Amino acid sequence: MLKKNIWDLHRDTVDEYRHKGKLPVVAILDNIRSLNNIGSVFRTSDAFLVERIMLCGITATPPSAEIHKTALGAEDSVMWEYYENTLDCIAELKRNGYEICVLEQVKGSVALNDFVPDKGKKYAIVAGHEVNGVDQRVVDQADVCIEIPQCGTKHSLNVSVSTGIALWHFFSALR
* Residue pLDDT, tens place only, 6-43: 889 989 999 999 999 999 999 999 999 999 999 999 99
- Region of residue 54 (left: phi > 0; alpha: psi -120 to 50; beta: else): beta
State the distance between the two ends of the chain, measured CA to CA, in whole angstroms: 28
Residue 103 near residue 127 (C-beta atoms within 8 A): yes
- Can you list the domains of the chain with their CATH numbers? 21-174 (3.40.1280.10)
Per-residue model confidence (pLDDT) at position 67: 98
d(Cα 73, Cα 96) in Å, to the nearest integer?
A: 29
Helix axes 159-174, 35-47, angle to 10 degrees: 10
Per-residue model confidence (pLDDT) at position 108: 96
d(Cα 146, Cα 7) in Å, to the nearest integer?
A: 38
Per-residue model confidence (pLDDT) at position 49: 98
Per-residue model confidence (pLDDT) at position 6: 84
Per-residue model confidence (pLDDT) at position 111: 98
Beta strands in 57-174 (DSSP E): 80-83, 98-103, 110-111, 122-128, 144-147
pLDDT under 70: residue ranges of the chain = none
Per-residue model confidence (pLDDT) at position 102: 98
Half-sphere exposure of 130 (CA within 13 A, CB side): 12
